[in-house]
Amino acid sequence: MARAGKPILQRSYGLADAESKTADTIDTKFPIGSITKQFTAAAILLLQERGRLSLNDPIRKYLTNAPASWSRVTIRHLLTHTSGLPNITAFPDYADIRTRAASPDELIARISAKPLEYEPGTKYTYGNSDYIVLGRLIEMVSGQSYGAFLKGQIFDPLHMNATGVDDERIVVPRRATGYAVDLDGIRHADAISMTVLFSAGNLHSTVGDLFKWETALFAGNVISPASLKMMTTPYRNGYGLGLFVGEQDGHRFVSHTGDIDGFGGMLAYYPDDKLTVIVLSNLFGGAYGLVAKDIARTAFGVPFVLPGERKSVVVPPSVLADYAGVYQLTPSVRNLISLKNGRLTSKIGNQAELEMVPESQTRFFFRAGEAEIEFVRDAATGKVCGLIVHQDGAAFNGVKTG
């Protein structure tokens, strides 16, 4: 945590590797998942400032072999998650895709083989396909690899010497080992090829380097004030360009989380307070987002409740059975609610299966995260017809389909 560019709290906890008992330090490197997206967005804005591209360009101007339907998709649509491209990490066969190294062109070929999910610009659907395509555009326009462009234009100038493209085939000194939490406790994270995430989530970094980045970005030392304003202006559903824009406890903030197998993190900046909070973790499914927000609350003097203090209630087995089923969140993302040994579990898309703890007869929370799920019944029939996922001040509806 830092205020006005000066660290207030910089500390590490736990183990970077549990088997070797290697302690985590402030220099430990963590894959940062979707925190990567803000670097991709900034790179695109840099190229626009230099006249190399325009956010209004149709992406087929560069990807000439893309489907004809993509002619209506612009770079701006990709940046704001309004393109209609199907999300590759929600594909039914993603469990197989994720374990195999793939080039950006191979990933785009998989994405383009499926139809658009909606007319570009008409809806918002957060996903990874948009930012994978953006990374390839950066390469085509700059003539450099994605990693080389970021290194030369952002990492080296900002002395972010511990930040780079993550590759499971390369030994990275001081890189943490990733773990996951599921119904049976903590285990090694599932294997994944970082090439599959590409410019949507394949960077690693440290809290120190991310602090350098955030400080430089908001000081106007990376992109122009006009570009920064575009980046931090919400378009749909509170999403700007590579950043979420919202409010916490009455304080404006811009942020992004990063979930990737074995790791999770959050980078948040509160511009009116000049407050920065960065949390990186090597536990996928952990409550890092809640931890980050509660750290900010200590600075704001706002009371908060520790996760362990929340009380659970007893819900009749028949009611739990009513809640079990399949809920469609988006055209390509389902939430599977299962009843196992008297406990409800939630599995969204390809994410880990997590136990749900009842806080009321209709609302459940997760001990390993900050989201909550509320079940909805049809007013006329009394049957369970859907659910609402509450997270980060937003609500996402799911319709029960089975």
Q: Are 102 and 196 in contact (CB under 8 A)?
A: yes
Residue 330 lies in a domain: yes
Residue 310 lies in a domain: no
> How many CB atoms sit inside 10 A of residue 232's CB?
19
Q: What is the pLDDT of residue 307?
A: 63
Pair 7, 58 in one domain: yes
Q: Are 370 and 279 in contact (CB under 8 A)?
A: no
The residues, ordered by sequence, that sit 6+ positions from 201 with a Cβ below 8 Å of its Cβ are 31, 32, 33, 34, 35, 36, 37, 128, 131, 258, 260
Pair 247, 350 in one domain: no
Read off φ and ψ for residue 145, nearest 5 degrees: -70, 160
CATH code at position 215: 3.40.710.10
Pair 258, 340 in one domain: no
Residue 356 lies in a domain: yes
Residue 379 lies in a domain: yes
Domain boundary among 300, 333, 359: 300
Q: What is the pLDDT of residue 131?
A: 99
Residue 382 lies in a domain: yes
Domain range for 122 is: 2-300
Q: How confident is the model at residue 2 (pLDDT cuts 50, 70, 90)?
A: very high
| Residue 46 to residue 33: CA distance in whole angstroms | 22
The DSSP secondary structure of 288-300, one letter per residue, reads: HHHHHHHHHHHHH
- pLDDT of 117-168, one tens digit each? 999 999 999 999 999 999 999 999 999 999 999 999 999 999 999 999 998 8
- pLDDT of 5-26, one tens digit each? 999 999 999 999 999 999 999 9
Q: What is the pLDDT of residue 348?
A: 85
Residue 306 lies in a domain: no
Q: How confident is the model at residue 310 (pLDDT cuts 50, 70, 90)?
A: confident
Report, as an integer, the average pLDDT of 268-281. Answer: 97
- pLDDT of 337-394, one tens digit each? 999 999 999 988 777 788 899 999 999 998 766 789 999 999 999 999 999 998 766 7
Domain boundary among 272, 300, 328: 300
308 vs 223, residue with greater confidence: 223
Residue 305 lies in a domain: no
The DSSP secondary structure of 309-354, one letter per residue, reads: GPPP----HHHHHHH-EEEEEETTEEEEEEEETTEEEEEETTSPPE
Report the number of distinct structural domains present in the chain.
Answer: 2
Pair 109, 82 in one domain: yes
Pair 357, 209 in one domain: no
Instruction: Work out the percent of the chain whose per-residue pLDDT is above 90.
Output: 82
Pair 92, 229 in one domain: yes
402 vs 134, residue with greater confidence: 134
Pair 288, 341 in one domain: no
Domain boundary among 239, 271, 300: 300
207-218 vs 36-49: helix crossing angle, rounded to 10: 30
Residue 117 lies in a domain: yes
Pair 330, 293 in one domain: no
Three-state SS for 242? coil
| Residue 168 to residue 178: CA distance in whole angstroms | 12
Pair 105, 152 in one domain: yes
Residue whose structure tokens are 């980060």? 392
CATH code at position 362: 2.40.128.50
Pair 180, 44 in one domain: yes
Pair 325, 269 in one domain: no
Pair 143, 48 in one domain: yes
| Residue 107 to residue 110: CA distance in whole angstroms | 5
